[in-house]
Structure 1
Amino acid sequence: MSRKGQARVREIVPDPKFHDRTVAKFVNVVMERGKKSVAEQILYGALDLIAERTKEDGLAVFKRAIDNVR
């Protein structure tokens, strides 16, 4: 019996708050056991905390950190 072909790679949909694919990908990495809403709360809370402490845009700091790691 023949096997089905490989599953297609799905396009990552931008997250609803920032409309950014990098944030959506990071939410997917943080997510455990399919709990996407919990992962979003964790990430959005962290970005708000960063913005509060550094007096800069949390998303800009996040993107800078990702660029430094790459």
Structure 2
Amino acid sequence: MRKTNKKSKVYKPDPKFNEPLVTRFVNHLMKSGKKSIAYRIFYSAMKKIDLVKGKEEKTSLEIWKDGLKNIMPHIEVKSRRMGGANIQVPIPISPNNKITKAMKLLISCAAIRNEKTMSDKLAFEIWEAFKEQGEAVKRKENIHKMAEANKAFSHFRF
């Protein structure tokens, strides 16, 4: 066998929501090892979602999870060299990588927003992902369009 299967990492649950997925998200959000600041940003974003949601019956954590599901790409394109030309081959993404890509997509799209603080940026990006709007959803749809355009090369999978 060339590749061995990677062991899935076990994350400890976070202190407030007791959810391992939150810890994983905060690890992606963290910069320069400052986890307490990343937790503070995430928790304040959750509070802002509680203020924004209005009549929505779901909790802020459920809104965040639904937002992640809405921006989760199911297929991606990878470049492969075939006879002197690089072609884009669509490949399905593993469930673990779907979550990672969705988290990174959400954080990167939140970072380029125009709000003042990162917690504001994150809260509004999560809310727009929940409503299936915003930059993160557009990027996910762009990934799917590229895969759809190159589905003729799907038989060249690695």
| 2:31 paired residue number | 32
How many residues are treated as equivalent by the alignment? Answer: 63
TM-score (norm 1): 0.81
Alpha-carbon offset, residue 11 of structure 1 = 1.8
Distance (Å, rounded) in 2 between the aligned partners of 1:62 and 1:50: 9
| 1:52 paired residue number | 51
Distance (Å, rounded) in 2 between the aligned partners of 1:58 and 1:46: 9
What does the per-residue CA deviation read over 1:6-46, in whole Å, with 9 as the maximum and x for residues that have no partner?
Answer: xx864211111101111110000000011000000000000
Alpha-carbon offset, residue 60 of structure 1 = 1.0
| 2:63 paired residue number | 61
Identity %: 37
Structure 1 unaligned spans of 5+: 1-7
Distance (Å, rounded) in 1 between the aligned partners of 2:31 and 2:8: 20
- What code does the residue aligned with 1:16 have? P
- What code does the residue aligned with 2:60 have? G
TM-score (norm 2): 0.37
- Where in structure 1 do 4 or more consecutive aligned residues deviate above 2 Å? none
| 1:21 paired residue number | 20
Structure 2 unaligned spans of 5+: 1-6, 73-158
| 2:144 paired residue number | none
Distance (Å, rounded) in 2 between the aligned partners of 1:69 and 1:9: 22
1:11 and 1:65, CA in 2 relative to 1: closer, same or farther beyond 3 A? same
Alpha-carbon offset, residue 67 of structure 1 = 0.9
Distance (Å, rounded) in 1 between the aligned partners of 2:36 and 2:8: 22
- What code does the residue aligned with 1:28 have? N
1:51 and 1:19, CA in 2 relative to 1: closer, same or farther beyond 3 A? same
